[in-house]
């Protein structure tokens, strides 16, 4: 494609509100444009990359035997009422009324719709398992859209759904998808981790998130420095390796007032309120309470953590459940200031002096902690969530009465899995991982063009003629080529070439008449003079060295 | 793909509300499913066809030098206010509010959005012309969705926009698109006509519609039985070939009361009300008044045609403009009953007796009329509008202040063209043209699968083994193959194969052990026994005979 004819509205200035490299470079490079807060157009360059990601996804999804379909964005409210999510989903779900005052959700996710589509057809175990996917624009009215495509309100997503008659069949599909996702993100050139994650509001059981490592990421990943263990910070279990007490126990001591306490001995307490009961959780003051673990322990999804309370946690009211983090099991002499009594306890042996129902893993893991799989120590990294695989179980099929007849003719709810990839997010994540100060440095598989052919001075006949000859040659060799044939100053052209970031640059300049051009990788920008006779081989060779 | 694993929810019964063949067969064949009135899912079979249509469109659009992008469905209301269309568009435009009470249109068309995208960048003639297109889901809240995908509320569209600095440049792009559209619809196997059309509410000048011929079509096309002239019924000009009067004129006669009148002599009058004036139009009672032509004559887009009026049209008030259809120019002796006077005029010579400002072409063309290009006679056909090319001019660029600097440094509004293809409609149109009583009969280019391999009894080892061997062979040869490996009764399998309608059927039955199968074209269903050794050649040969 000739650059003079292409719509690539690059920007010299960095947009003020672009907080991340991907947002900044996609805007500056003319890849995307904002149309409203969190709402973007993919311009020709950006959409070329999106389509390459989509092609990889389609190939890998088809390999798993999943079939592509396309469901509508307009989802009748009735379906969302069936599962109760019309009320639960909140303002993130965009809603609209048609001319007959019927309500629709603008698809934020597709569980209801796909379940309604298959529920009459998948009526026997003979038709199971079944795997369906779509690549579709989704809508979520984020409270604070930010980082460009990373948290947008209209975005492109691949969502897949599988249907089964047994937990084993679901497990098989789950891991097939897991491995397909690994291949997809590998082919996109991403450094990522598949991490254990919390099932959250979508409802279900096992789930892994695929996190692309990036400083700008909104999630923290806890990973082992030696094994491939990785989990979302809130999901990483803390090993309870110690045995016995960490010292000699002594009789409990109670001293009036708030006394100075050794930081290593201090413990703290948190109150939790569920729909039906109250609980207090003790842990070391140096540890951080993990609400998700408390929530899982209490087995309810309506829970409130109450920051301060002046109740007497040492002598709680009847009915209050008391738990402690595993860490306290081994503490021989803790210290606690009880506000209700205004006194400080010393030599407090938690298992002896507190009415603890059980010790559990209730804190956040810390860097340096042993990895939960027993191999190596934990490190933290920031991640961008680009995909998720999820065992839904029967939550949707039960609510929506989607049943099949098993071998004995009994009606049972379909067992479901769902699997998502944020395609526009994947684009952003790739940008975060593949750029330098001057612009993008695309991996081969996703570059909008593989070769950027730059004519330094197209007013010179020899440069123009040679460029045209090379352009045709590259196209014939099957390369995606962007030819900068514009009558701009060389400085502008080179700067924009760095910004756009095609992997290979071929520069036709002063020595065109001698059939000599310059070849460079965008990555290091070291230019090597090459004769046109050797150019084809040199490009091929250079590409083998690039990601 | 094995049919046992595919989501093809065929239906035995014809859905009650499916009024057209395409709607009925797409539902029955498991190609689409309705999710709400006018809102459909494309199931795996249907989406395979959609993707084949999209691939053809992409190839042909890219050949014109147009660049693909993707704009959002959520379009800020502010843009629609700039052109005034927020108020004009009416209830067809779906609207929604975000959580901050900001209004958005759900894209029904993209003129505002694309103009806002390019207006800062296309600021000089040096960057023109520019051509951009997208394939995107569009939303229109049709009052009466019907015929399945033919008039839906959420549908897939290709929309393209071009920008120019001269009428000549627009003309060049217009005809390049026109020819690209011809190639697209030819490649889809459609019988269609490119017809002159009315520019309608979108505002602009020249326009052609691409109409696929089909009984179910909502538009009437007037075409020549000898040349390639074709126009929308309302746009077809009527030739004014006659010379002089059709007989002797006689003195005007006025007879009291409503008298019997010769049908060939009777004339009639219509009143029109514009924003600023009133007009009356005379024409032969046997002709039909064409509002579009009257509208174009009066040069306004706010016009009301008033059915009855008891005003005295023979002696209209001052200020009323009087026009007549060309047909009356040649009438020597007309007859008219003037209600206001309750008398009937005979021997009325319109040019002599009526205060006619001008004679113009103001009626609908009729079958048998001479073709406006002077070649042959007019015939009518019904058509489905599948595409339109449109010279927009400067309507949007002026309203939205999208200007470029010309060679003299003067700011001028961009000259625009827009070009649409209804992709889901194209699918329906193909169905209307390619089916029989049993189901679909797909043209090769769009068939979801080229070969339907049917194992009559997969419980027989020889049939299953041979089928598997042939399946692998066909896939290796590059065919899309659907393999019916299901344990269903042969009758069910054959009926569904007819319904699905793949062009070629290969049936593995009783003579499998002798390496003999049956080969048939879906079109005529005549089965020919073929040895597997000759099958590959036979399939290739058969395909050359098919559309």
Nearest one of A544, A458, A455 to A503, comparing CA atoms: A544
Which of A1, A47, A73 lies closest to B154 in CB terms? A73
Question: Which of A47, A68, A137 is facing B68, going by the closest CB pair?
Answer: A47
Contact between chains at A96 and B106 (C-beta distance less than 8 A) = yes
Contact B208, B164 (CB under 8 A): no
For B65-106, write each residue's pLDDT tens digit.
999 999 999 999 999 999 999 999 999 999 999 999 999 999
Cα angle at A524 between A519 and A527, to 5 degrees?
30
For residue A57, pLDDT beyond 90: yes
Q: Evaluate the CA torsion angle A293, A295, A297, A301 in order and state its sign.
A: negative
User: Are residues B99 and A47, on separate chains, in Cβ contact within 8 Å?
Assistant: no
3-class DSSP state of B242 = coil
Q: For residues B125 and B49, give the distance between their C-alpha atoms in angstroms, rounded to a whole number.
A: 40
Q: What is the distance between the alpha carbons of residues B148 and B33, in angstroms, rounded to a whole number?
A: 9
Torsion-angle region of B19 (φ positive above 0: left; ψ -120 to 50: alpha; else: beta):
alpha
Which position has the token pair 């293809």? B421
- Least CB–CB distance from A154: residue in B74, B139, B154: B74
Return the percent helix, strand and coil in chain A, to nearest 5: 30, 30, 40
Cα separation, B246 vs B242, in Å, equals 9
Facing B43 at nearest CB: one of A5, A47, A69: A69
% pLDDT > 90, chain A: 82
Q: What is the ipTM of this complex?
A: 0.89
On the question of pLDDT at B203 being above 60, the answer is no
- Cα(first)–Cα(last) distance of chain A, in Å? 23
Query: A9 and B121 in contact by Cβ < 8 A?
Result: yes
Distance, in Å, from the CA atom of B406 to the CA atom of A201, rounded to the nearest integer, reads 57
A99 with B141: Cβ contact below 8 A: yes
Looking at residue B301, what is its pLDDT? 61
Residues of chain A in contact with residue B120, where contact means CB-CB under 8 angstroms, are 9
Statement: B15-235+380-432 belongs to CATH 3.40.50.720: no
CATH 3.90.960.10 residue ranges in chain A? Answer: 253-360
Q: What is the pLDDT of residue A202?
A: 45
- Residue A33 is nearest to which of B35, B94, B117, comparing CB atoms? B117
* Bridge partners (DSSP) listed for residue A337: A344
**Confidence (pLDDT) at A152:** 93
Which pLDDT score is estimated for A301? Answer: 61
Which structure tokens are listed for A244? 């016995």
* Strand pairing class (B95-97; B67-68): unpaired
Q: Is-cis flag, bond preceding A119, omega within 30?
A: no
CA distance A67 to chain B (A): 6
Q: Do A72 and B44 touch (CB under 8 A)?
A: no
Best B74, B77, B129, B156 member to test A by mutation, with max A CBs in 10 Å, is: B74
Alpha carbons B187 and B445: distance in angstroms, whole number: 7
Residue intervals in chain B for CATH 3.30.930.10: 15-235+380-432
Give me the mean pLDDT over the A355-381 stretch: 94
Q: For the segment B11-44, what is each residue's pLDDT rounded down to a tens digit?
A: 988 888 888 999 999 999 999 999 999 999 999 9
Is B154 exposed, middle or buried, given 0-12, 13-18 or 19+ CB atoms closer than 10 A? buried
Return the DSSP state at A363: B
pLDDT in tens, A459-507: 999 999 999 999 999 999 999 999 999 999 999 999 999 999 999 999 9
- The CA–CA distances, whole Å, from A325 to A331, A390, A546 equal 11, 28, 49
pLDDT digits (tens, 9 = 90+) for A189-238: 999 999 988 665 444 568 999 999 999 998 899 999 999 899 989 889 99
The answer to whether the beta carbons of residues B430 and B185 sit under 8 Å apart is no
DSSP B132-170: EEEEEEEE---SS-BTGGGB-SEEEEEEEEEEESSHHHH
Residue A156 structure tokens: 């492109």
3-class DSSP state of A218: coil
d(CA B90, CA B75): 16
Is the pLDDT at B307 greater than 70, yes or no? no
Element (H, E) at B519: strand B516-521
From A148-152, B30-34, B54-58, B419-423, the region with the lowest mean pLDDT: A148-152
Mean pLDDT throughout A268-278?
Answer: 86
Please name the residue of chain B whose CA is at the shortest distance from the CA of residue A156: B72
Which chain A residues are within 8 Å of B121, Cβ to Cβ? 7, 9
Into which CATH architecture does domain A253-360 fall? Answer: Alpha-Beta Complex (3.90)
Contact state of A95 with B95 under an 8 Å Cβ cutoff: no
Residues B350-384 have pLDDT tens digits of: 999 999 999 999 999 999 999 999 999 999 999 99
Nearest residue, CB atoms, A42 vs list B39, B69, B99: B69
Across the interface, do A137 and B137 touch by the CB < 8 Å criterion? yes
Which residues in chain B have Cβ-Cβ distances shorter than 8 Å to A51?
68
Tokens of B116: 């806002």
Residues 6 or more apart whose CB falls under 8 angstroms from that of B411 comprise: B403, B404, B405
> Got the DSSP string for B350-388?
HHHHS--SEEE--B---TTSBPTTSSSBEEEEEEEEEEE
Average pLDDT, chain A: 93
Mean pLDDT computed over every residue of chain B? 93
CA of A212, closest CA in chain B: separation in Å?
25
Cβ separation of B7 and A113 shorter than 8 Å? no
The first and second tokens of residue B183, run together, are 């190639």
For residue A197, give how far its alpha carbon lies from the nearest alpha carbon of chain B (Å): 29
CA dihedral of residues A172, A173, A174, A179 (deg, nearest 10): 90
**Average pLDDT of the residues in B244-252:** 91
Spatial distance between the Cα atoms of A72 and A136, rounded to a whole number of angstroms: 9
B193-203: average pLDDT: 69
Asked if pLDDT for residue B537 goes beyond 90, the answer is: yes
Hey, what are B309's tokens?
Answer: 């009026």
CB A268 within 8 A of CB A288: no
> Shortest CB distance from B67 goes to which of A6, A36, A104?
A6
Output the pLDDT for position A205: 63
Choose among B70, B76, B121: nearest Cβ to A42. B70
Q: Which two tokens stand for residue B321?
A: 């403009």
Half-sphere exposure of A196 (CA within 13 A, CB side): 16
Q: How confident is the model at residue B474 (pLDDT cuts 50, 70, 90)?
A: very high
Q: What is the pLDDT of residue B433?
A: 97
Of the options 1.10.10.10, 3.40.50.800, 3.30.420.40, 2.70.98.60, the CATH number for the domain spanning A449-544 = 3.40.50.800
DSSP-based three-state secondary structure for B184 = helix
B7–A118: do the CB atoms touch at under 8 Å? yes
Rounded Cα distance between A426 and B213, Å, is 44
Min Cα separation B65/chain A (Å): 8
CATH 3.30.930.10 in chain A, residue ranges: 47-236+380-432
Residue B202 has pLDDT above 50, yes or no: no
Residues of B with CB below 8 A from A73's CB?
73, 137, 139, 154
**CA-to-CA distance for A401 and A426, rounded, in angstroms?**
35
In angstroms, the separation between the Cα of residue B54 and the nearest Cα of chain A is 13
Positive or negative: CA dihedral B221, B225, B230, B234: negative
CATH 3.40.50.800 range(s) for chain A read: 449-544
Contact state of B96 with A95 under an 8 Å Cβ cutoff: yes
Chain A residue closest in CA terms to B488: A126
Q: Which residues of A touch B71 (CB under 8 A)?
A: 35, 41
DSSP A86-100: HHHSGGGS-EEE-TT
Q: Is A468 helix (H, G, I), strand (E, B) or coil?
A: helix
**Residue-level pLDDT at A455:** 98
CB distance A44–B137 less than 8 Å? no
pLDDT attached to residue A14: 82
Residue A69: which of B41, B70, B76 has the nearest Cβ? B41
Confidence bin at A292 (pLDDT 50/70/90): confident
Residues 6+ apart with CB under 8 A from B219: B209, B211, B232, B233, B382, B383, B384, B385
Token pair, residue A216, equals 């700008």
Interface probe for B, chosen from A50, A69, A427 (most Cβ of B below 10 Å), is A69
Residue closest to A160 by CA, chosen among A180, A182, A183, A188: A180
Partners of A172 on chain B (C-beta within 8 Å) are none
Mean pLDDT throughout A244-258?
A: 92
Of B69, B76, B91, the CB nearest to A44: B69
Angle between helical axes of A461-476 and A532-544 (0-180°, round to 10): 50
Are residues A42 and B1, on separate chains, in Cβ contact within 8 Å?
Answer: no
Residue A115 has pLDDT above 60, yes or no: yes
Shortest CA distance from A129: residue in chain B: B5
Q: Name which of B51, B130, B137 is nearest A73 (Cβ-Cβ).
A: B137
Is B72 close to A41, i.e. CB distance below 8 A?
A: yes
Rank A97-106, A145-154, B266-275 by mean pLDDT and report only the highest.
Answer: A97-106
Gap between the Cα atoms of A306 and A315, Å rounded: 18
- Give the pairing of strands B32-36 and B39-42: antiparallel
Number of helices (H), then strands (E), in chain A = 13, 31
Give the Cα separation of B289 and B300 in Å (integer): 17
* Residues of chain B neighbouring A7 (CB-CB closer than 8 A): 67, 69, 118, 121, 130, 132
Q: How far is A499 from chain B (nearest CA, A)?
A: 17
Q: Which of A243-252, A412-421, B211-220 has the highest mean pLDDT?
A: A412-421
Which CATH code fits A47-236+380-432?
3.30.930.10
- Cβ contacts (< 8 Å) between B130 and chain A: which residues? 5, 7
**3 state SS of A361:** coil
Residue A209, pLDDT score: 94
Nearest to B69 among A43, A76, A137 (CB): A43
The confidence score (pLDDT) of residue B32 equals 97
Interface test with A, best of B49, B63, B67 (most A CBs within 10 A): B67
Strand partners, A34: A40
Are B388 and B372 spatial neighbours (Cβ–Cβ below 8 Å)? no
- A74, A120, A124, A163: best mutation site toward chain B, by most B Cβ within 10 Å? A74
- Cis peptide, bond prior to residue A129, ω within 30 of zero: yes
Nearest residue of B to residue A128, measured between CA atoms = B5
CB < 8 Å to A42, chain B? 69-70
């Amino acid at each position: 494609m000739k650059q003079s004819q292409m719509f690539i509205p690059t920007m010299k200035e960095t947009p003020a509100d672009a907080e991340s490299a991907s947002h900044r470079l996609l805007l500056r490079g003319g890849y995307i444009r904002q149309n409203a807060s969190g709402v973007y157009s993919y311009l020709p360059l950006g959409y070329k990359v999106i389509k390459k990601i989509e092609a990889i996804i389609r190939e890998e999804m088809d390999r798993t035997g999943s079939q592509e379909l396309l469901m509508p964005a307009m989802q009748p409210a009735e379906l969302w009422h069936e599962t109760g999510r019309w009320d639960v989903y909140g303002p993130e779900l965009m809603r609209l009324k048609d001319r007959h005052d019927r309500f629709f959700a603008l698809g934020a996710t597709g569980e209801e719709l796909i379940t309604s589509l298959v529920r009459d057809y998948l009526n026997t175990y003979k038709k199971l398992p079944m795997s369906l996917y779509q690549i579709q624009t989704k809508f979520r009215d984020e409270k604070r859209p930010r980082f460009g495509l990373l948290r947008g309100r209209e975005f492109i997503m691949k969502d897949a759904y599988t249907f089964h008659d047994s937990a084993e069949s679901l497990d098989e599909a789950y891991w097939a998808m897991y491995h397909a996702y690994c291949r997809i993100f590998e082919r996109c050139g991403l450094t990522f981790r598949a991490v254990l994650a919390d099932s959250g509001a979508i409802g279900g059981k096992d789930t892994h998130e695929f996190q692309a490592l990036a400083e700008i990421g909104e999630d923290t990943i806890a990973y082992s420095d030696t094994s491939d263990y990785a989990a979302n910070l809130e999901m990483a279990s803390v090993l309870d390796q110690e045995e016995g007490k960490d010292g000699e126990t002594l009789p409990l001591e109670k001293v009036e007032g708030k006394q100075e306490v050794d930081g290593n001995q201090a413990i703290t307490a948190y109150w939790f309120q569920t729909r039906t009961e109250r609980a207090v959780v003790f842990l070391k003051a140096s540890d951080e309470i993990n609400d998700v673990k408390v929530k899982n322990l209490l087995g309810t999804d309506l829970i409130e953590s109450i920051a301060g309370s002046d109740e007497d946690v040492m002598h709680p009211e009847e009915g209050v459940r008391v738990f402690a983090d595993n860490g306290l099991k081994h503490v021989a002499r803790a210290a606690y200031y009880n506000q209700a009594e205004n006194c400080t306890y010393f030599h407090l042996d938690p298992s002896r002096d507190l009415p603890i129902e059980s010790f559990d893993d209730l804190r956040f893991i810390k860097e340096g902690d042993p990895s939960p799989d027993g191999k190596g120590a934990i490190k933290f990294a920031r991640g961008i969530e680009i995909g998720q695989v999820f065992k839904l179980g029967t939550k949707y099929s039960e609510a929506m009465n989607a049943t099949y007849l098993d071998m004995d003719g009994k009606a049972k709810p379909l067992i479901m899995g769902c699997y998502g990839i944020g395609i526009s997010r994947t684009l952003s994540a790739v940008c975060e991982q593949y750029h330098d100060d001057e612009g993008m440095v695309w991996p081969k598989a996703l570059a909008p063009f593989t070769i950027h052919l730059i004519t330094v001075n197209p007013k010179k006949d020899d440069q123009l003629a040679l460029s045209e000859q090379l352009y045709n040659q590259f196209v014939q060799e099957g390369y995606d080529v962007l030819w900068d044939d514009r009558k701009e100053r060389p400085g502008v052209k080179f700067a924009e070439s760095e910004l756009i970031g095609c992997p290979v640059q071929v520069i036709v300049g002063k020595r065109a008449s001698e059939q000599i051009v310059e070849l460079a990788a965008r990555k290091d920008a070291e230019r090597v003079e090459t004769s046109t006779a050797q150019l084809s081989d040199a490009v091929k060779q250079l590409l083998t060295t690039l990601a």
